[in-house]
Amino acid sequence: MSEVVYRSEVRIDRPGGPLRWAHLPAEPEPVPFGVHSEIAKHYGRQEGDYEAHATTLDYVVAAAAG
Amino acid sequence: MAGTFGGALEARKIPAGDGRLQTFAVGEIELEGHTLVLKRINVTYQLTVDPNADQSAIERVHGFHAERCPVARSIGGSVAITTHLEVAE
């Protein structure tokens, strides 16, 4: 195993339901994770009963693209 | 991970919202040649439960939740993901 050159430390708060807040390095404000559109439907969420936010998969796509 | 774990607990009537489930993760990055590569993610859950909580159900959910997490399933073949659970009353 090579030497670890950086450790990314994050914290996730979960108020409840699909919403989570991710506390990330170098970011003063947490970022939300949630559900929307087809992802919300997959988890059985009805429109209006959740606050739409980017999903964790959206963030993975963004991370790969960025 | 936390979303999947928390949701699975709540589906079994084990409260996991309102601060009961705290999740801490450390991603370890190594240098491969000149490229930084995420090699592993270690996730620690701290779950606060009621005294009469079903501990076996909690352990069972902890045991399988990763395979039902979309991100863990998406990247787990390349990034080693491990979880650790601490339960407190």
Write down the domain spans for chain A: 11-65
Chain B residues whose CB is inside 8 A of the A7 CB are 26-29
What is the sign of the dihedral through the CA atoms of A43, A48, A49 and A55? positive
One-letter amino acid for residue B8 of the chain = A
Which of A 25-54 lie inside 8 A of B, CB atoms? Answer: 33, 43
d(C-alpha B26, C-alpha B43), whole Å: 7
pLDDT score at A48? 84
Task: Determine, for residues A8 and B29 on separate chains, whether the beta-carbon distance falls below 8 Å.
Answer: yes
The pLDDT tens digits for A33-51 are 999 999 999 999 988 889 9
pTM here is 0.93
Task: Determine, for residues B2 and A15 on separate chains, whether the beta-carbon distance falls below 8 Å.
Answer: no
Which phi-psi region, left, alpha or beta, contains residue B20 (left: φ > 0; alpha: ψ -120 to 50)? alpha
d(C-alpha A8, C-alpha B64), whole Å: 25
Which segments in chain B show pLDDT lower than 70?
Answer: none
Q: How many CA atoms lie within 13 A of A50 on its CB side?
A: 24
